[in-house]
Structure 1
Amino acid sequence: MRLFLRAVFAVLVLGISVPSLAKGVSETDLREHIAVLASDEFEGRKPGTEGEAKTVKYIAEQWAKAGLKPAAGDGSWFEPVPLIQRGRGEATYSFNAKGRKLRIVSDEIVLIGKEAEYAKKDLPVVFTGIGVKSDGSVGADVSGKLALVLFEADNAPAKMKSPRARREALIAAGAEGVIFVGDSQGNWPILRRQLLSRPIGLESREKRAKLEGAISTEFAVALVTAAGRDWDKLRAHAKGADYTGEALGIDADFNVMTDIYRFNSSNVIGKLSGKKKGSGAVLYMGHWDHLGICAPDDATDKICNGAVDNASGIAVLTEVAQRLAKKRHDRDIYFIATTAEESGLLGAYAYADKPVFPLEDIVISLNVDTIAIAGRNSKVAIIGRGTTSLDATVEAVARKTGRAIESSTDANDFIQRQDGWALAQKGVPALMVGGSFADLDLMQKFLGSDYHGPNDELTDQTELGGAAEDADLHIALGNYFADTRKYKVTKAGE
């Protein structure tokens, strides 16, 4: 039954009551789960590894113990998510200008094809600056050509700052190849490492050029200089807001072999069945994956354990499930632990494209991610504020649990970086609620230090006070939104 997701505000604020939590979630409760999920034994929980097998098994066992029932499409806990990895294989290349082969002394280039083999001769090379103009459109003529793109894009419009967004815009404009130029003294090592780490993709949604890759600034300078051009002048031109790019008078020949590996990862899905069929569902979600073994072989610590990101979120979901399972609610309550969030919300997108229950039945989706940041008594922020009709309701529930509200929209800076975004684009009322993103200075401190590195480990200093309070808040939200008397929705047309 399709539900029109419009709150009946007669029951808002003054009509909200939240039952007291007889036993709140403790820091110890959360620590026990994080200690397992972020242990070296789980090897950083990268999809397609032994770490994944241990992770999804642990989650299913804990959710079964909590009282959930398996709810994947085949009746198990595990919903398959077909993924693909591409790794660098053998590659030969040459660049030519005015009939002569250019001599490039740098070898700082990484090339990866869309298919297992890519061969092309006389591919024209176009320098595109950051790739897009101030309105987000592609100014350069890249159709059937190789686009050289600056990796850093401080002057790009907000929605196009990410390399992925600019790459996809160039592909949509017809680019046959897209190669990013990384700063040799800054982001080139990061860019190179990303490409060599066999990045994971969701093949059903991939937007890839036939050839993709990266070169260092040193390589770019050598290339354009050998062709008689001035790199500094090209960079200066690229700073213009509406730079339209320019052909370099260079053609390229490529023969690129790519190692391709296809495999199934898993979203873990559990359910608490409600009493009233057709009344909708509450959905909790959080990603289980992290980066796996992420440092060089000679590093002292090679594992990105992901204690905060996002073993903490899975720990909260597990404790919330355990407490919500103590009674039967009106609405169904689903829990989904998604795969491959770190690779671009892939598990969430896979679920949004092929849900096990109708997306239109979801009265609220609550994503839990990177939750062990803030201490106790932190304000509650809403990622997704202003995008649904639920802000006032969520705030009223939060206040009933003793929490203050962060009323700004600053946390929306992260709206596209979390799994709820995949559902929001399908019209689902999807929010992230809690304290971690209420203090963005505190969040940025984490993002600039332990985030996505071997130091994101569980220690005695890991802050779990705010996470415990956020867990209690999510229990209160579940109790409220799963109750058809407290939160009412109307059918379309009523």
Structure 2
Amino acid sequence: MKYVILGALSLSVLAACGPANESNKETDKAVADIKDSAFNPNYRDYLKTLSSDEFEGRAPASAGGEKTVSFIENNFREWGLKPYDQENDSYRQPVPLVKLMPYKVSSLNFDGESAPESMKYRTEMMAWTPRVVDEVKVENSDVVFVGYGIVAPEYDWNDYEGLDVEGKTVVMLVNDPGYATGDPELFNGNAMTYYGRWTYKFEEAARQGAEAAFVIHETGPAGYGWGVVAGGSPVRFDLKRENKNMDRSAIEGWITEESANALFATVGKNLEQMRELALSGEFKPQPLNIEASLTVQNKFEYLDTNNVIGYIEGSKYPEEHVIYMAHHDHLGTDPVREDDPIYNGAQDNASGTAALMAMAEQFAKGPQPERSIVFAAVGAEESGLLGSGWYASHPMLPLGKAVGGINMDVMNVYGPMKDMVVVGYGNSSMEDYLKRYVKAQDRYVAPEPTPEVGSFYRSDHFSLAKKGVPMLYAEGGNDHFEKGREWTEEQRAIFNRDAYHKPADEFDENWDLRGVQQDMSVFYSIGNELANSRDWPQWAPGNEFEAVRKATEDMRK
């Protein structure tokens, strides 16, 4: 059936918000009357517990991380969700990690008739190795400019065409051609595509056989300054693989704009001229007539964390399933900080994990859906979307039979909003369901304000999107019912400046959780409809994940 009756608590929110034809005054009053208990009265307690000092910042493979996993698992068990591992009655999906610690990185040195001076680590370039080895050396490797470093058949774009980069060092531009030109007909215009992400560029360079790969940093198209690249810890995490990541390039890294200009001067050009060349439509990779050398000395150790997965089995189509996802991890503690060593991660992402738990608790009350509903609290998101990446490669149910999914990462703690913002606006028909239920709350859907920074590719839904699953990532917006847009934008700016990935991201008793209740109601309604229908949401035509979804069509017949 196309439309289904909503759960009682979900209906309470919709009724409180009122239909769209009521006057604004009546609607504002109704929304102002929403209480924390409108969808799930336990949400506040889950949020407060997960972000407490007792959970020590929920770092992967830590005592606080173990408390987090146990807390979620125990509640899933109490509510009667089926466990991920039914044979052992366990909700835990082990996620094997490797921690990479480059402790000595040389300067990036060059040889050649017009070779530039060596580039210093952190100030002029950043480099590491993704390989699980003690040391890597790149010696006398030919340097080649490969434009944007993109191979995208659906856009008829191949920056590596006719080039063998085996053993070579490739240098490439950040983001994608659509951002650079603003042309809506080129890639996705100003909105970054998957091909604009630096993670993709390193993966493609490795597929092409490059020995080393460097992305040119520019604040605008990257979406952050050089300090973000070079100012943090060089420690990295990855999934444990049998081949020890030897299929990856030996060196990955970034160089500054100034460093790029020094490189391009070897062929009598600068960064702007090389960008124009990359966008010309007649681009061919450009050898820079120099050789690069660099050494990274590395330490590594193996760790284990866990995803926590429970599900409600469908009554008619148990393999077909809807997925709710949120990451339970954060940054742990910093023993060097004496004033406040705990990164509590209240908004990021105790708020989303608490919403996942509230959603699971509500669905567990019944009735049983026709399709299964999976609740995945994944780990190691802050380390590179690793928990969701592991689940995507080791799913509980076939992802070709995943109807669609909703990711919850940083919920709205500032009160009821007139808008709901979609990150990755226009990507899939999941938005059609969202728009209908948001409209029922006398609200509207808005696209994210900065699509060029590629936020859609920076949270856990991306791991499933790459497997073809249509994923929705939406957040409470900025247009506050009572205080307006300017006030909300100021609150978010304060959070980003003072609390994001800092110890100040702590639970606040004064938070107005009515906005979370609004959004949880919408997410519940979408999942409830999909779990009791024969609908199969799809990616928008031309989307980079459309082909993957189509390849699994036979599984859904």
TM-score exceeds 0.5: yes
Q: Secondary structure at the match of 2:45?
A: helix
Shift of 1:268: 0.3
1:259, 1:479 → 2: CA distance? 47
| Matching of residue 123 in structure 1 with residue 162 in structure 2 | no
Separation in structure 1 between the aligned mates of residue 520 and residue 414 of structure 2, nearest angstrom: 13
Give the 5 Å matches for 1:2-13: 11-12=1-2
Cα distance in structure 2, aligned partners of 1:256 and 1:215: 16
Relative distance call for 1:396 and 1:249 in structure 2 (3 A) is: closer
Is the contact made by 1:86 and 1:112 (CA closer than 8 Å) also made in structure 2? no
Distance 1:147 1:299 in 2: 43
Partner of 2:389: 349
Once residues 105 and 477 of structure 1 are traced to their aligned partners in structure 2, the CA distance between those partners, rounded to angstroms, is: 52
Change (3 A) 1:476 1:93: closer
**Aligned pair 1:146/2:169, yes or no?**
yes
1:40 matches 2:53: yes
Could you tell me whether the CA contact under 8 Å between 2:55 and 2:67 is conserved in 1? yes
Offset of 1:286 from its aligned partner? 1.1
Matched pairs, number: 472
Asked if the contact 1:269–1:337 (Cα under 8 Å) also holds between the matched residues in 2, the reply is yes
| 8 Å Cα contact 1:305/1:457 also seen in 2 | yes
Give percent identity, aligned residues only: 27
Gaps of 5+ in 2: 14-34, 182-186, 537-553
1:467 matched to 2:467? The reply is no
In structure 2, distance between residues paired with 1:151 and 1:430: 25
Query: Which of the numbers 435, 448, 451 marks the counterpart of 2:476?
Result: 435
Give the aligned CA root-mean-square deviation in angstroms: 4.3
Report the counterpart of residue 453 of structure 1 in structure 2.
502
Give 2:523's aligned amino acid.
H
**Shift in alpha-carbon separation, 1:148–1:329, aligned structure 2, 3 A:** same
Per mean C-alpha deviation after superposition, the further-off stretch among 278-287 and 442-451 is: 442-451
1:209 to 236, 242, 249: 249
Q: CA deviation at 1:466?
A: 0.7
User: Once structures 1 and 2 are overlaid, which stretch shifts more, 107-116 or 321-330?
Assistant: 107-116
2:210 pairs with 1:196:
no
For 1:452, the aligned partner's letter is: H
Answering whether residue 151 of structure 2 is matched by residue 163 of structure 1, we say no
Partner deviation per Cα, 1:92-128 (whole Å, 9 max, x = no partner): 5673535999874845455433241323432223455
Q: Is the 8 Å Cα contact of residues 364 and 430 (structure 1) preserved in structure 2?
A: yes
Is contact 1:145–1:176 with CA below 8 Å preserved after alignment? yes
Any gaps of 5 or more consecutive residues in structure 1?
A: 1-10
* In the alignment, structure 1 residue 324 sits paired with structure 2 residue 340: no
Identify if the C-alpha distance between structure 1 residues 292 and 103 changes in structure 2 by more than 3 Å, giving closer, same or farther: same
What displacement does 1:224 show? 5.5
Out of 16, 21, 26, which is 2:36 matched to?
A: 26
SS in 2 for 1:330: coil
**Deviating more after overlay: 235-244 vs 257-266:** 235-244
3-state SS of paired residue (1:167): helix
State whether residues 104 and 219 of structure 1, in contact with CA within 8 Å, keep that contact through their aligned partners in structure 2: no
Amino acid paired to 2:142 = P
Structure 2 residue identity aligned to 1:137? D
> Which deviations, in whole Å up to 9, do the C-alpha atoms of 1:386-420 show, x marking residues without a partner?
555555445444555x3433266879864433323
> Residue in 2 aligned with 1:85?
99
Which residue in 2 is equivalent to 1:50? 63
Alpha-carbon shift at residue 369 of structure 1 (Å) = 1.8
1:223-282, Cα deviation, whole Å (9 max, x unpaired): 769xxx579943343332526564444334444322122322211011234444647333
Distance 2:235 2:308 in 1: 25
In structure 1, the partner of 2:290 is 250
| Structure 1 position 426 matched with structure 2 position 457 | no
After TM superposition, give the deviation of residue 367 of structure 1 in Å: 2.0
Q: Distance in 2 between matches of 1:453 and 1:52?
A: 18
| 1:284 paired residue among 313, 324, 337 | 324
Q: Secondary structure at the match of 2:276?
A: coil
* Superimposed CA distance per residue, residues 289-314 of structure 1 (whole angstroms, 9 cap, x where no aligned partner): 223347x9358545433211211111
Amino acid at match of 1:18: L
Instruction: Decide which of 100, 104, 109 is 1:95's aligned counterpart.
Output: 109
> AA paired with 1:347?
G
Taking structure 1 as reference, are residues 451 and 477 closer, same or farther at Cα in structure 2, changes over 3 Å only? Answer: same
Q: Which has the higher contact order (CA 8 A, sep 6+)?
A: 1
Q: Partner residue of 1:76?
A: 90
- 1:155 alignment partner AA: A
Amino acid across the alignment from 2:140: D
- In the alignment, residue 96 of structure 2 is paired with which amino acid? P
Letter in 2 for 1:197: V
Letter in 1 for 2:98: I
Give the secondary structure class of the aligned counterpart of 2:143: strand
- In structure 2, relative to structure 1, the CA distance for the partners of 1:115 and 1:341 (3 Å cut) is closer
Q: 2:128 aligned with 1:112, yes or no?
A: yes
**In the superposition, relative to structure 1, how do residues 299 and 151 fare at CA in structure 2: closer, same or farther (>3 Å)?**
farther
Quote the Cα distance in structure 2 between the aligned partners of 1:94 and 1:399: 55
Distance 1:132 1:317, change over 3 A: closer
Matched position secondary structure for 1:406: strand
Q: Which residue of 2 aligns with 1:234?
A: 270
Q: Distance in 1 between matches of 2:339 and 2:268?
A: 39
Per-residue deviation, 1:194: 4.7
Aligned to 1:137: 159
